[in-house]
Amino acid sequence: MAGLMAGVEVHPEGGPGIRGTELQKRMFWDGLSVKFTGDNAILAPQFITTRAQIDEIIGRFRKTLDHMRDNG
C-alpha cells in the first residue's frame, strides 16, 4: 500500500514557528487539517482519495496562503 505525502516550508516571520502556527489555525477554519512542525506543513491525505479531493485540498491550502499574503 502506498500513500501520498507532501511538505511545504513557509518563510518564517517574527521568529521560528510563528507563521506556521498562524497558518495551521487559519487552515483549520478554512476546513483543512494540516500538521505543521515549526514553519513546515505536512500534507498526508487518506490512502483512498480522488483527484477531485486532492484538488480541493490544494485549493483550500492555496486560498489560505493567498489570504495570509494579502492580509497578514
In 3D space, the residue among 43, 36, 42 whose CA is nearest the CA of residue 21 turns out to be 36
Is residue 58 a part of any domain in this protein?
yes
Say if CB 34 and CB 7 are below 8 A apart: no
Q: What pLDDT is recorded for position 18? A: 92
Q: What pLDDT is recorded for position 45? A: 83
Q: What are phi and psi of 40, to 5 degrees?
A: -115, 125
**How many structural domains comprise the chain?**
1
Residue 63 sits in which domain range?
A: 6-71
Question: For position 24, which CATH number holds?
Answer: 3.90.1150.10
Distance of CA 51 to the CA centre of its chain: 17
C-alpha cell at 60: 483550500
Per-residue pLDDT of the chain (72 residues; tens, 9 = 90+): 567 888 989 888 888 999 999 999 999 998 888 999 999 999 888 888 888 988 999 999 999 989 888 986
Report d(CA 29, CA 13) in Å as an integer: 21
